[in-house]
Amino acid sequence: MNEEKYRETRKLLLGYLANIAKENNISISEISERTGFTESNIKRLFAGKYNPDLEMFIILVEAIDVQIQITPKQ
């Protein structure tokens, strides 16, 4: 997979997390408190303007109360 594909996948996943947070009424402020990330960084993450490393992504996932599941390709 090339860098452009990685970027698009990260953007898609972060958008998905942003939608879940919104649907569950978890505010940017609350995510900031749970993660220790600044609100501006969270907004940049959700807008796809910043690409998190794996650790940051997992912290964000936990703050939004979702699970990551990996399955084999069909």
Amino acid, single-letter form, for residue 27: S
pLDDT category at 9 given cuts 50, 70, 90 is confident
* Average pLDDT of every residue of the chain: 92
Report the pLDDT averaged over residues 39-63. 92
Contact yes or no for 64/24 (Cβ under 8 A) = yes
Cα separation, 68 vs 41, whole angstroms: 21
SS3 letters for the chain?
Answer: CCHHHHHHHHHHHHHHHHHHHHHCCCCHHHHHHHHCCCHHHHHHHHCCCCCCCHHHHHHHHHHCCCCCCCCCCC
**Is 40 or 73 the better-scoring residue by pLDDT?**
40
Instruction: Look at residue 2 in the predicted model and tell me its pLDDT.
Output: 83
